[in-house]
Amino acid sequence: MTIKTRFAPSPTGYLHVGGARTALFSWLYAKKKGGKFILRIEDTDLERSTQASVDAIFDGMSWLGLTHDEGPFYQTQRFDRYREVIQQLLDQGDAYYCTCTREELDQLREQQKANKEKPRYNGKCKDAKHTEGVIRFKNPVDGEVVINDLVKGDIVVANKELDDLIIARSDGTPTYNLTVVVDDLDMGISHVIRGDDHINNTPRQINILKALGAELPKYAHVPMILGSDGARLSKRHGAVSVMQYRDDGFLPDALLNYLLRLGWSHGDQEIFSVDEMIELFELEGCNVSASTFNPEKLLWLNHQYIMHDEPEYVAKHLVWHMHKQGIDISNGPDLVEVVKAQRERSKTLVEMATASHYFYQEFEAYDEKAAKKNFKEGSDKVLQTLMDGFSKTNDWNGEKLHQIVLDTAEAMELKLGKVAQPLRVAISGAGVSPAIDVTLSLLGREKTLKRMEKAIEFIKQKLDK
Ligand code: GLU
């Protein structure tokens, strides 16, 4: 059997982390089994679906690296096929027109409830003219539906609990349960992996599939993601859009890793490369109950990735942030070296980018506190002595420069900090930066000497006042 999974978002908003996790599980399962992953845009709700949301889904999926093997398919392009299947169900006697008004239906429901009958509208609709009205699926009256859910185990639903659901609205447009069934069938989906908010739809979909004589896919319903207050994760819990995490400086692999662990485990391992995820993922390892989104843990994980991932990979994503912050990175050190220098102290790429501007462009002003503390009586002299040393050296490398800083401190009988700190503020504008030798070598001779000169001027003027 060919394994085929799908991600089937409705384009009615951004790609949120809940959807991304469902997509990840489907993608991982297909990858792991050497199968195919399909992207299907469920855009039949014409009022709520927008092109902007479709684009947001593509952007999110592509940023996460969750590439599809087939599609994207659009349900709005498949109306003819849905109509054909609806007609087939009508012809087979598995569907019927229903022209009851809302009020009539409510009345009928009340009546049936009082008689302890299952909700069913056939009686009333039998004689209706087949020109208008919705089309309902004739759900079996007896027996039960068993879902052998790969995450939740067996779920049994009695048919008498299921009503005759609408499969086409009075304007002829098909409804969600019908379109999903037809698509899953036509696209050869072997495993339907989706959020457990769809679990009530599953027995209905199974019954339609059976009426069509189709082989059933396997189902895996993954639990919801909750906010810290136990409510379903939503905007009020903070960022829930995948692209917001990109904007906030997260690495896609860190977010994937976090989403994977949020709902799946493998012993107590926390960090998984994407290759490891593919190798180790099993639906059986999925949590049965909902998990709580923990932004601190995601931030911790992001820092782990920034520190331990290939610096080239981190740099690739850092470029985007540097551009966004308006920094021209052609005028300065190799970004890979900047990553190596900054990764210990940067929990996000936004932090890393912000803290790296001075390698590429002049800073506007000294950090006030740092300047106050380090630009004092005598600091100009320290900087001048360092500058003399730096100017003389021909090899601008960390080791050499570090030695000059040490020698200067010794010659001036100052503690190392009294020399290195004014230097740091002079060249970076701030009181924190990577190790001074690293900062100097990344910055290069020209920028360093120019900034030291400027700082000496600044200190002199300040002391004159
Ligand atoms: N379009 C549905 C949604 O976005 C998903 C349908 C499915 O996975 O079966 O909730």
Residue 195 CA: nearest ligand 1 atom is 8
Task: Give residue 342's pLDDT band: very low, low, confident or very high (50, 70, 90).
Answer: very high
Query: Is there a single domain that holds both residue 109 and residue 132?
Result: yes
**Mean pLDDT, rounded, for 424-444:** 96
Determine the distance separating the centroid of ligand 1 and the alpha carbon of 23, expressed in angstroms: 11
Residue 301 maps to a domain: no
Q: How far apart are CA 449 and CA 17, in angstroms?
A: 48
Residue 317 maps to a domain: yes
Q: How far apart are CA 33 and CA 25, in angstroms?
A: 12
Q: What percent of the chain shows pLDDT beyond 70? A: 95
- How many separate domains does the chain show? 3
Residue 9 CA: nearest ligand 1 atom is 4
Q: Are the CB atoms for 70 and 35 separated by under 8 Å? A: no
Q: Which of 42, 184, 185, 209 to mutate to test the pocket of ligand 1 (most atoms within 8 A of CB)?
A: 42
Q: Are the CB atoms for 443 and 427 separated by under 8 Å? A: yes
Q: Identify the CA nearest to 27 among candidates 53, 6, 51, 43.
A: 6
Is the CB of 194 within 6 Å of ligand 1? Answer: yes
> Which of 168, 183, 210 is the C-terminal boundary of a domain?
168
Query: Is there a single domain that holds both residue 404 and residue 357?
Result: no
**CA-CA-CA-CA torsion sign (253, 254, 255, 261):** positive
Domain span holding position 91: 80-168
Query: Is there a single domain that holds both residue 326 and residue 341?
Result: yes
Q: Are the CB atoms for 246 and 350 separated by under 8 Å? A: no
Q: Mean pLDDT score of the chain, rounded to an integer?
A: 93
Q: What is the pLDDT of residues 130-164, one digit of tens each?
A: 445 889 999 998 999 999 999 999 999 999 899 88
Q: Are the CB atoms for 398 and 434 separated by under 8 Å? A: no
Residue 251 maps to a domain: no
Check whether 125 has a pLDDT greater than 70.
Answer: no
Check whether 441 has a pLDDT greater than 70.
Answer: yes
Is the CB of 384 within 6 Å of ligand 1? Answer: no
Axis crossing angle, helix 398-411 with helix 436-443, rounded to the nearest 10: 120
> Which of 139, 168, 197 is the C-terminal boundary of a domain?
168
Residue 272 maps to a domain: no
Residue 12 CA: nearest ligand 1 atom is 4
- Pairing label, strands 191-195, 144-149: unpaired
| Active site positions, annotated | 235
Determine the distance separating the centroid of ligand 1 and the alpha carbon of 316, expressed in angstroms: 33
Query: Is there a single domain that holds both residue 355 and residue 373?
Result: no
Query: Is there a single domain that holds both residue 375 and residue 426?
Result: yes
Q: Are the CB atoms for 219 and 202 separated by under 8 Å? A: yes
Residue 39 maps to a domain: no
Residue 6 CA: nearest ligand 1 atom is 8
Question: 124-137 burial, b if ≥16 CB within 10 A, otherwise e?
Answer: ebeeeeeeebbbbb
> Which of 110, 144, 168 is the C-terminal boundary of a domain?
168
Residue 72, preceding bond cis, omega within 30 degrees? Answer: yes
Is the CB of 10 within 6 Å of ligand 1? Answer: yes
Determine the distance separating the centroid of ligand 1 and the alpha carbon of 9, expressed in angstroms: 5
Residue 22 CA: nearest ligand 1 atom is 8
Determine the distance separating the centroid of ligand 1 and the alpha carbon of 189, expressed in angstroms: 14
Q: How far apart are CA 157 and CA 175, in angstroms?
A: 22
In degrees, to the nearest 5, what angle opens at C-alpha 173 toward C-alphas 171 and 176?
140
Which tokens sit at 70? 């087939």
Query: Is there a single domain that holds both residue 438 and residue 356?
Result: no
Domain harbouring 460, CATH code: 1.10.10.350
pLDDT score for 111 = 79
Determine the distance separating the centroid of ligand 1 and the alpha carbon of 328, expressed in angstroms: 42
Q: Whose CA is nearest to atom 6 of ligand 1?
A: 8
Domain harbouring 90, CATH code: 3.90.800.10
Q: Is 84 exposed, middle or buried (0-12, 13-18, 19+ CB in 10 A)?
A: exposed
Is the CB of 9 within 6 Å of ligand 1? Answer: yes
Residue 434 maps to a domain: yes
Query: Is there a single domain that holds both residue 376 and residue 433?
Result: yes
**Tokens 């120019």, residue?**
450
Query: Is there a single domain that holds both residue 116 and residue 158?
Result: yes
Check whether 119 has a pLDDT greater than 60.
Answer: no
**Tokens 């060249």, residue?**
427
Query: Is there a single domain that holds both residue 458 and residue 380?
Result: yes
Q: Whose CA is nearest to atom 7 of ligand 1?
A: 8
Is the CB of 42 within 6 Å of ligand 1? Answer: yes
Q: What is the pLDDT of residues 209-263, one digit of tens each?
A: 999 999 999 999 999 999 999 998 988 887 789 999 999 999 999 999 999 999 8
Is the CB of 180 within 6 Å of ligand 1? Answer: yes
Q: What is the pLDDT of residues 163-193, one digit of tens each?
A: 889 999 988 899 999 999 999 999 999 999 9
Residue 4 maps to a domain: no
Q: Are the CB atoms for 87 and 135 separated by under 8 Å? A: no
